[in-house]
Amino acid sequence: MKLNDKIAIVTGAGSGNGREIALELAREGAVVAILNRTKEKGDKTLSMIEENGGKGVSLEADVSDAKIFKEAISKVIEKYGKIDILVNNAGIFDGQETFPTTDEEAFDKIISVNLKGVFLGTKYALENMLENKYGVIINIASIAGLRGGTASPAYTASKHGVIGLTGDTATKHGPDGIRAIAICPGMIETAMTKDMLEDPSEQTKELIESIPLKRVGKPEEIGKLVAFLVSDDARYVTGTTVVIDGGMIS
Ligand code: NAP
């Protein structure tokens, strides 16, 4: 197993990509702390890990709330003594909203979860990683972080920001033994895209048809990629973005 003795935090691990990332890291031997807004969903992921013989803990944490998020990270350090891996995955989506249809509150909400949440997680987990001179931070961005026109203004801005934070982390803390990588998924089959995929508009059908691999992605495929990138097999990979989109933006 690639991740024996590693302690990992995965935010938003109560559903979709986060749940599959948590399951895959646990399969590879990591102890996984699941931080999710709704505790019951995180507990469900933890029970799935335990059924597979893995180990972890489930903590309620809203990543946009600095005090609560910091406390949750501190609890992980108290319980396990260190953090080796942080996956900043928690995120929300406001569909195909446009500038005229996005109000200020909606913009602030997306930025505070998708972007500020990554800043806070990195800031608090790094304190411990810097002491240990070891850490891997994976930030789940999106292809909307690489180009405009694929999502709403708020979501697009938040994911561009996530890629910016990733580069800053990797550059400033590479010398401290920290790696940071942004993953940019295309369209993945999760609760976030359920409505779009269950009742696809002509635009969605065309979008799927335009994907060279002719299908949407599965959250398990995100889990596998993360497990590779956080492992020592990827020890020379940092400060970059990895696109996983079936060729959608190629
Ligand atoms: P999802 O199934 O809706 O899962 C999102 C998870 O994040 C849920 O467990 C949710 O918990 C949690 N969450 C939301 N707000 C939170 C907060 N403030 N604090 C802590 N946890 C919070 O969506 P997903 O598709 O797996 O998305 C995961 C990540 O992948 C996001 O960053 C998303 O932007 C990114 N992504 C997804 C796609 C896609 O096509 N699905 C494409 C590109 C990027 P609650 O339900 O309790 O709120």
Residue 180 pLDDT more than 90?
yes
Q: What percent of the chain has a predicted confidence (pLDDT) above 70? A: 100
> What are phi and psi for residue 70, nearest 5 degrees?
-60, -45
Residues contacting residue 46 through CB under 8 Å, at least 6 positions apart: 34, 56, 57, 58
Q: Which one-letter DSSP state was computed for residue 233?
A: G
Residue nearest to atom 18 of ligand 1 (CA): 62
CA nearest neighbour of 103 among 145, 61, 154: 154
Ligand 1 pocket, mutate which of 19, 37, 208, 216 (most atoms under 8 A from CB): 37
Residue type, 1: M
Q: Please tell me if the CB atom of residue 110 comes closer than 6 angstroms to any atom of ligand 1.
A: no
- Give the model's pLDDT for residue 203: 87
Ligand 1 centroid to residue 225 C-alpha, Å: 17
How many Å lie between the centroid of ligand 1 and the Cα of residue 180? 20
Q: Answer whether 17 contacts ligand 1 (Cβ < 6 A).
A: yes
CB-based contacts of 211, cutoff 8 Å, min separation 6: 186, 187, 245, 246, 247, 248
The confidence band for 105, taking pLDDT boundaries of 50, 70 and 90, is very high
Q: For the chain, give the mean pLDDT.
A: 98
Regarding the beta carbon of 36 and ligand 1, being less than 6 Å apart is answered yes
Q: What is the pLDDT of residues 210-248, one digit of tens each?
A: 999 999 999 999 999 999 999 999 999 999 999 999 999
State the Cα–Cα distance between residues 113 and 26, nearest whole angstrom: 25
Structural domains of the chain in order of their starting residue, each with its CATH number: 7-242 (3.40.50.720)
Three-class secondary structure assignment of 1-48 = CCCCCCEEEEECCCCHHHHHHHHHHHHCCCEEEEEECCHHHHHHHHHH
- CA atoms of 81 and 132, how far apart (whole Å): 10
The protein residue whose alpha carbon is closest to atom 23 in ligand 1 is 192
Tens of pLDDT, residue by residue over 149-177, are 999 999 999 999 999 999 999 999 999 99
